Amino acid sequence: MKNLLLILLSGLIFIACDNRKEISSINQENWKNRMIDLPHIDSLIAGTTYLPVYSQIYGRTEHITHDLTATISMRNTNRNDTIYIMTATYFNTEGHMIRSYFDEPIYLAPMETVEIIIDEIDQEGGTGANFLFDWKTETTACEPLFESVMISTSGQQGLSFTTRGVRIK
């Protein structure tokens, strides 16, 4: 009985100490299923949206930071039109590209939301991280909406806030 308990306890400690770092909780297979071969269509309008994202924020002083989980939402606000996201690129505080989430255009069906999750342990973005989204829509369609929700919890303390994308071209 003692040996079984010791083996079980050892297994739990091993699992608890697993420090694999995830950079994003979105499965790459999801992007592949959303990719679309978008022919050159002159009737589509193009735009770029900037979205501020915080993977860390300052606390008490500039020397103390709190890590955050960020949920980045790409939303199609159209009831009838599909929109196309050409790129979703993540940059750190210094403006260096961290990663691009897909290489081919993806689609968002009418009223659909697709999310990117930046895990709390991913500190690459820093206090001034951001995304650039390049997108295309039909001329009569509404622009996509990009938002992020940042959250952190510890014990009974919680912190959360949101940001909204701004079209820059």
Residue 117 belongs to some domain of the structure: yes
pLDDT, position 27: 58
Query: What pLDDT, on a 0 to 100 scale, did the predictor assign at position 123?
Result: 87
Whether 104 is covered by a domain: the verdict is yes
Provide the strand spans (E) within 76-112: 83-91, 97-100, 106-108
Q: Does residue 6 lie within any of the structural domains?
A: no
Contact 107, 83 (CB under 8 A): yes
Residue 120: closest CA among 46, 48, 39, 23: 23
**Cross-sheet strand order for the sheet of 69-75:** 113-118, 69-75, 145-154, 157-164
**Tell me, what's the pLDDT at 18?**
47
Beta strand extents in 5-80 (DSSP E only): 44-52, 56-59, 61-67, 69-75
Write down the pLDDT at residue 49.
98
Count the domains in the chain.
1
Does residue 144 contact residue 50 with C-beta atoms inside 8 Å?
Answer: no
User: Looking at residue 12, what is its pLDDT?
Assistant: 53
Range of the domain at 50: 41-167
> Is 33 a domain residue?
no
Please list the pLDDT of the chain residue by residue as tens digits (169 residues).
666 555 555 555 544 444 444 455 555 657 777 888 876 667 889 999 999 999 888 888 888 888 899 999 999 999 999 999 999 999 999 999 999 998 889 999 999 999 999 998 888 899 899 999 999 999 899 999 999 999 988 778 888 999 999 999 8
**Residue 158 pLDDT:** 86
CA gap 27, 20 in Å, rounded? 16
Cβ proximity of 52 and 164 under 8 Å: no
Q: Is residue 74 part of a domain?
A: yes
Alpha helix stretches (DSSP H) within 52-164: none
Triad 143, 147, 149: Cα angle to 5°: 170
Please report the pLDDT score of residue 166 as a whole number: 97
Give the CATH number, domain containing residue 62: 2.60.290
pLDDT of residue 131: 97
State the Cα–Cα distance between residues 10 and 123, nearest whole angstrom. Answer: 30
